[in-house]
């Protein structure tokens, strides 16, 4: 088990969050436990190795951290494209209001 932790913040549909938390509770697990397990499985599935924080090496030296290089521009371009959000879900920036002339009498 990892000795150190880091925070991961994500945005999720509120209804999906409620359903996920209910399922976790039914399985007597916390949402964090399930997400950590999913991340471990995802790393293994993609062949990414890592050393859990606080894991001692047999010779007492600090373990080397697995480095994952950031994808290059061509690799990012070849990645699975993300479809744009439907028009009803897009956030729009408010347009500046035109200045109104105020008449004083």
Range of the domain at 36: 14-51
Count of alpha carbons within 13 Å of 6, Cβ hemisphere only? 3
- Report pLDDT digits (tens) over 5-30: 899 999 999 999 999 999 999 999 99
Q: Which residues of the chain have pLDDT under 50?
A: 63, 66-67, 70, 76, 80, 82
**Any domain includes 42:** yes
Question: What pLDDT sits at residue 33?
Answer: 94
**Any domain includes 19:** yes
Residue 43's nearest CA partner among 52, 31, 54 is 52
The pTM of the full predicted model, rounded to 2 decimals, is 0.52
**Any domain includes 45:** yes
Sign, CA dihedral 8-84-91-19, equals negative
Total domain count, the chain: 1
**Any domain includes 64:** no
**Any domain includes 94:** no
């Amino acid at each position: 088990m990892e000795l150190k932790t880091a925070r991961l913040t994500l945005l999720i549909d509120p209804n999906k969050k409620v359903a996920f938390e209910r399922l976790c509770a039914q399985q007597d697990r916390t949402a964090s436990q399930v997400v950590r397990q999913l991340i471990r499985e995802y790393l293994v599935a993609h062949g990414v190795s890592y050393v859990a924080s606080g894991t001692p090496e047999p010779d007492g030296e600090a373990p080397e951290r697995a480095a994952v290089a950031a994808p290059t521009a061509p690799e990012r371009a070849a990645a699975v494209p993300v479809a744009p959000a439907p028009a009803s879900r897009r956030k729009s920036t408010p347009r500046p209001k035109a200045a109104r002339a105020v008449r004083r009498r």
